[in-house]
């Protein structure tokens, strides 16, 4: 191991721009939703815009869709829960069926995918808060029949999600009170979380500065707790980009908990670096990189 001088990346600024673009479309949808009898339109736009962004961002071997997860050994009458964002192996996965969606985009169509080709599931919510975090985690746990076990090596008729499967949460907005909420942290506890749960991101929060985002990160918990980990919400100007490159690392099998997945997630030095401390964000100037 040898130390390299960290200089950051101009890609970070583009990632912040993409984050702000997602929020601008979300805000426009909120304004339009005020005239709707049932004001859910902005939530639908949040899901749609996030799918479009993620589909453009990820390597093209991975597809992004809303839809259903199906095991080939399902029996009897089965009700398949619908998920906001499914990341799947686009080169290998057959599409069992397709349902059109009102947003009319390719990512907006609901697709049914065999469980063995699903790489990740993300739940998207307009707002971060106690009710929303509880609902999101409960919905991810609908995947329980698919992650309660792992198929043995060589199994031809697979019925479980791959061992590398991950799931996460995306929230577009949070109030200052929600950011401080202990109830949110309790709902996000890894103790009862689905297999592969890795936290998530909050695109904007309370009085946080523009361009700042939240990272729902798993960190070591005190020894006396029931789990070795807890989920905490940290804020910084690179949290969205860190979340994005963590997804890529998970898909490529290079993710390591507590390690930076890509230096593209960090700003050049002239933008200022986060200081290590109570916010829990790692100072990239102290990161060792292998030759």
Dump pLDDT digits (tens) for 74-124.
665 567 889 999 999 999 999 999 987 655 566 568 999 999 999 999 999
In this structure, are residues 267 and 237 in contact, taking their beta carbons and an 8 Å threshold? yes
Check: CB of residue 236 under 8 Å from CB of residue 270: no
pLDDT of residue 26: 93
On average, the pLDDT of the chain sits at 83
**Domain spans, the chain:** 11-168+238-275
pLDDT value, residue 39: 56
Helix/strand/coil for 288: coil
Closest listed residue to residue 184, CA positions, set 127, 238, 123, 247 = 127
Cα separation, 51 vs 107, whole angstroms = 6
pLDDT value of residue 265: 82
Sign of the torsion angle spanned by Cα atoms 14, 8, 64, 281? negative
Taking only the tens place, the pLDDT of each residue in 139-172 is 999 999 999 999 898 888 899 999 999 999 999 9
Q: Is the pLDDT of residue 5 over 60?
A: no
Of the ranges 38-42, 106-110, 207-211, the best mean pLDDT one? 207-211
At 35 the pLDDT is 64
The CA angle 138-144-146, to the nearest 5 degrees, is 140
Q: Both tokens of residue 80? A: 């398949």
Neighbours of 90 (CB within 10 A): 18
Q: Does the pLDDT of residue 133 top 70, yes or no?
A: yes
pTM of the full structure? 0.85
Query: Which residues have CB under 8 Å from 176's CB, separation 6+?
Result: 205, 206, 207
Q: What percent of the chain has pLDDT over 90?
A: 54
Burial class (CB in 10 A: 0-12, 13-18, 19+), 73: exposed
What is the 3-state secondary structure of 217-249? EEEECCCCCCCCEEEEEEEECCHHHHHHHHHHH
Q: Indicate whether 7 pLDDT > 60.
A: no
Cβ-in-10-Å burial (0-12, 13-18, 19+) of 224 comes to exposed
User: Quick one: residue 116, left, alpha or beta (phi over 0 = left, psi -120 to 50 = alpha)?
Assistant: alpha
State the pLDDT at residue 258.
75
Q: Is the pLDDT of residue 55 over 80?
A: yes
Mean pLDDT value across residues 245-270:
85
């Amino acid at each position: 191991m040898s130390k390299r001088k960290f200089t950051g990346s101009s890609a970070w600024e583009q990632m912040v721009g993409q984050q702000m673009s997602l929020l601008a479309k979300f805000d426009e949808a909120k304004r339009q939703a005020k005239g709707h009898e049932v004001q859910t339109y902005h939530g639908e736009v949040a899901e749609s815009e996030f799918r479009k962004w993620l589909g453009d961002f990820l390597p093209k071997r991975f597809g992004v869709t809303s839809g259903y997860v199906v095991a080939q050994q399902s029996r009897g009458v089965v009700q398949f829960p619908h998920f906001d964002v499914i990341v799947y192996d686009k080169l290998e996965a057959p599409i069992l069926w397709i349902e059109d969606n009102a947003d009319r985009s390719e990512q907006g169509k609901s697709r049914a995918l065999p469980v063995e080709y699903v790489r990740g599931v993300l739940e998207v919510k307009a707002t971060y808060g106690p009710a929303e975090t509880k609902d999101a985690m409960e919905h991810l746990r609908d995947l329980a029949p698919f992650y309660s076990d792992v198929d043995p090596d060589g199994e031809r008729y697979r019925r479980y999600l791959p061992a590398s499967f991950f799931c996460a949460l995306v929230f577009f907005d949070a109030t200052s009170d929600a950011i401080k909420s202990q109830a949110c942290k309790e709902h996000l506890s890894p103790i009862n979380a689905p297999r592969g749960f890795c936290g998530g991101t909050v695109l904007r929060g309370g009085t946080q500065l523009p361009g700042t985002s939240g990272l729902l990160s798993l960190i070591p918990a005190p020894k006396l707790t029931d789990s070795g980990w807890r989920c905490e919400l940290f804020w910084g100007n690179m949290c969205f980009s860190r979340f994005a490159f963590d997804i890529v690392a998970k898909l490529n099998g290079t993710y390591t908990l507590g390690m930076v997945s890509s230096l593209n997630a960090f700003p050049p030095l002239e933008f200022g670096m986060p200081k290590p401390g109570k916010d829990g964000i790692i100072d990239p100037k102290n990161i060792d990189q292998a030759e």
